[in-house]
Amino acid sequence: MAASAVSAPEGVSGRFRGLLLRTLSAVVLGPLLLAAVWYGFPWIDLVAAIAAPVMVAEWLGLTIGRPMTRALAIVYSLAALTALLWLHHQPSSGRQTILWILFCVWATDTGAYFLGRLAGGVKLAPRISPSKTWSGLIGGMCFSAVVSSACGLAFDLGETVPLAFYGVGIAVIAQIGDLIESAAKRAAGVKDSGRLIPGHGGLLDRIDGLIAVLVAVAAVRLVVGGEWPWA
């Protein structure tokens, strides 16, 4: 879902095949998620409750015959949903934190998608996901840095320069989350985790990076306690 490229002979139109369907899916689902985050309980909790069985079912499909991997994958996803609710319900900037995470992850995906497909170049992890490139990762990092700084200004989260670096970190973590799911799909011999979302595949295909970022941000929040390191 993050950095990607295509072979050199393809034209621009070929490189962005499927973009319209991806965009339409995002236009429909994105506002619903944002509304749930904005209005909080019970809508954000309902989102987590709906997502949990779907995520578990998709992981079960990707980890057949691998009990330990299956257990870890399920715990990993449920930890992300727990992190989502825990971070959102924090009395200090909970809603703003989730919006910041979402915008940074979406920026990472957008920057990686466009720059990766336009620039191509050296593969990031060819044995795990042959389509991902270093140029896509750099694009995702740049987009996320800019959006993270903008969120700092909009939500009064802290200084814009440190937040730019945190945005870069989010992009890297999101890419790691993407690679984790890509490795599972490669081991299972499938292209997508499911067919739930047109243009994106399964739910895990859409939120693989977000899962990793939620877990990481929640871990940081637990370590630093009541204050963010950039506050």
Residue 133, strand partner residues: 123
Whether residue 9 is contained in a domain is answered as: no
Mean pLDDT of 35-48: 95
Whether residue 5 is contained in a domain is answered as: no
Q: What is the pLDDT of residue 197?
A: 75
Digit-coded pLDDT (tens) for 177-194: 999 999 999 999 998 998
Contacts of 141 (CB under 8 A, 6+ apart): 108, 111, 167, 168, 171, 172
Q: What is the pLDDT of residue 23?
A: 76
Whether residue 67 is contained in a domain is answered as: yes
Whether residue 101 is contained in a domain is answered as: yes
Q: Give percent of the chain with pLDDT exceeding 70.
A: 87
Q: What is the tally of structural domains in the chain?
A: 1
What residue spans of 89-202 are helical by DSSP H?
94-119, 134-155, 160-188
Q: Phi/psi at 222 (nearest 5 deg)?
A: -65, -40
Digit-coded pLDDT (tens) for 150-185: 998 898 877 889 999 999 999 999 999 999 999 999
Token duo for residue 2? 């993050």
Q: What is the pLDDT of residue 159?
A: 83
Q: What is the pLDDT of residue 16?
A: 57
**pLDDT confidence tier of residue 18, bands split at 50, 70 and 90:** low
Work out the end-to-end distance of the chain between its first and last CA atoms, rounded to an integer number of angstroms.
31
The CA distance from 20 to 65, in Å, is 36
Highest-scoring range by mean pLDDT, 16-25, 127-136, 180-189, 221-230? 180-189
Whether residue 10 is contained in a domain is answered as: no
Distances from the Cα of 168 to the Cαs of 98, 132, 163, in angstroms?
A: 17, 17, 9
The CA distance from 130 to 162, in Å, is 33
Q: Give percent of the chain with pLDDT exceeding 90.
A: 61
Whether residue 3 is contained in a domain is answered as: no
| Cβ-contact 136, 3 below 8 angstroms | yes
Q: What pTM did the predictor assign?
A: 0.86
Token duo for residue 118? 């336009």
The CA distance from 22 to 31, in Å, is 14
Digit-coded pLDDT (tens) for 56-110: 999 999 999 889 999 999 999 999 999 999 999 988 788 999 999 999 999 999 9
**pLDDT confidence tier of residue 8, bands split at 50, 70 and 90:** very low
Whether residue 51 is contained in a domain is answered as: yes
Task: Look over the chain and give the mean of its residue pLDDT values, rounded to a whole number.
Answer: 87
Token duo for residue 143? 């987009």
Angle separating helix axes 67-88 and 94-119, nearest 10 degrees = 130
Whether residue 2 is contained in a domain is answered as: no
Digit-coded pLDDT (tens) for 137-147: 999 999 999 99
Domain span holding position 27: 16-121+128-224
- The residue whose two tokens read 């980890």 is 63
